[in-house]
Chains A and B, each alone.
Chain A
């Protein structure tokens, strides 16, 4: 089968016995070249789910199989060779140069005593070229913009040479141009055969780049399937509690979500 990752019936909660569960009994699978967009209101557990999927967090129950192996039994290195993770925007304390940050993606391929070789640096350079940030290579990573930082993080994850890429809200805080730039990078990657999972706050992004959408709400998937069938006016209303029109726009050649302001939203 072409299934790269199988998530079976996982549940998670933070902290101790009496804290509430974030989600319960989630099951889905990811196949090669698939681009899954993960939607859901704030605080619904999208990040938590992604972190479970690379073993940063341990699910309470259930199992996550990566190419048939349970990730709980894999080493950090073993996971990082296959799965890349682009964390939610944060910044670095130290002003490392962008090139040095990107080449950190080679970590799982190096032993603990070695530094990146010329070969590794060349690969990092290539990937910076393909993501379009090669001009930043020598800049301190504390002096670049939010959009550039997000691209640096993607480049770093790609330098791992992963087969599966998880992105945690890669477009939050970005302007429209940068959002589209990131989406097109991600889109190209999934076209080339990489499996991509992207948590997002914009249902529109699913129409733009995803071939599957999941809506995570109140600890379970409210819907999971093709963008056209999952993202409807009814599902958006029940997910975000506001009225949204889903329209097909002839000039753009796709569907788009248009929020409608009403004076008494919610309650």
Chain B
């Protein structure tokens, strides 16, 4: 009697376990399929339509000997216009999302975005300063990257002054540094020439993947890849840290070192994203929530799923941004315009449980 009860209970558990362990895998496969689909679609559409098979063959011809039966224009549209832009979208979307997911775990706060430590404000100021002084795209990118990192370094140092709860101090210091740099950016906008430089600054701050070249990608892609891999490697530790700093330390985690690695990786990713695409908000905050609805809070699955969903989402939004109207819509506006209602719907249907 007792044995049967125990047996059925065990079987129930196993069934649960099976269903649960299948789930994240299925989510990853489905989201990856969607990602491939939207990527190919994004290469197809634009001012000229290119059929999907042609798109695939144009790309494949770089690796395999395929006789081109397409015009050189199509070749150049795919290879040097749409592909770099697609790759930039993939990297920026994936990077911001995984950074956001890692930060939300580290700070134990689902309202945190990768910009929380001031990286966007710093990068925005750097870019605005560079546009004001030099108006050269390479210097602008360099400045935004460096000032983004600088802002987080200041935040980090500021948080060390106080000895109590380092994580909380980091967030507060981030807010302080963020508002400081935002004020400086506003000041630059105010003194900039209102006919040329000021609109350039405003457009840059709104974000766009329009100006990304193959050369930019060659610099930025390895940085993205390296930091993303680092975060993926320590993703189980993020679970432990998400239980609270003291718990994590009692469980043997060197929280200062691990926290520093997470902050460093997420900051470099975000700064790299901002320097090629401007400030694209919303993604790093909300994609991790969508990931949690899809796969639960476990960072082992949450990080890869956020990565895939974030990449797909930004590619979709960027494709819409360049095809919806005759002129391009700044992507920073669209990410929120499309994402907000979608997220509201998702939350209504599928409460994440906090």
Contact = CB atoms under 8 A, between A and B. Distances in A.
Contacts of B30: none
A146 interface: no
Interface stretch (A28-36, A112-120, A179-187, A203-211): A112-120
Contacts, number: 97
A256 to B, nearest CB: 33
B41 interface: no
A144 to B, nearest CB: 12
Given A93-B110, A94-B242, A142 B353 contact: yes
Task: Pick the most buried of A94, A105, A116, A135: most chain B CB atoms within 10 A of its CB.
Answer: A94
Interface in B209-248: 233-237, 239-240, 242-244, 246-248
B298 A96 contact: yes
B254 interface: yes
A41 interface: no
A97 B296 contact: yes
A101 B16 contact: no
A92 interface: yes
Given A56-B246, A107-B240, A138-B16, A115 B253 contact: no
A85 B251 CA distance: 8
B297 to A, nearest CB: 4
A132 interface: no
Contact of A135 (B9, B20, B300): B9
A90 interface: yes
B190 interface: no
Contacts of B9: 135
B252 A93 contact: no
Contacts of A114: 236
> Which secondary structure dominates where chain B touches chain A?
helix
A70 B230 CA distance: 33
Contacts of A156: 251
Contacts of A6: none
A100 B254 contact: no
A64 B163 CA distance: 23
A107 to B, nearest CB: 4
A51 B245 CA distance: 13
A104 B297 contact: no
A131 interface: no
Task: Pick the most buried of B109, B237, B243, B292: most chain A CB atoms within 10 A of its CB.
Answer: B243
Interface residues of A, number: 42
Contact of A93 (B16, B17, B109, B298): B109
B240 A104 contact: yes
A76 B239 CA distance: 17
Contacts of B247: 87
Contacts of B17: 138
A217 B254 CA distance: 33
A80 B250 CA distance: 6
A228 interface: no
Contacts of B252: 75-81, 107-108, 160
B63 interface: no
Given A96-B297, A100-B298, A160 B251 contact: yes
Contacts of B251: 80, 104-105, 107-108, 156, 160
Interface in B238-297: 239-240, 242-244, 246-254, 258, 292, 296-297
Task: Pick the most buried of A75, A79, A84, A100: most chain B CB atoms within 10 A of its CB.
Answer: A100
Contacts of B233: 112-113
Contact of B242 (A15, A79, A93): A93
A94 B354 contact: yes
The 4 closest A-B CB pairs, nearest first, are: A80-B252, A108-B252, A94-B297, A85-B250
12 contacts: A79-B252, A80-B251, A80-B252, A94-B354, A95-B296, A95-B354, A97-B20, A97-B298, A115-B235, A134-B13, A137-B16, A160-B252
Interface of B: 9, 13, 16-17, 20, 105, 108-110, 163, 233-237, 239-240, 242-244, 246-254, 258, 292, 296-298, 300, 352-354
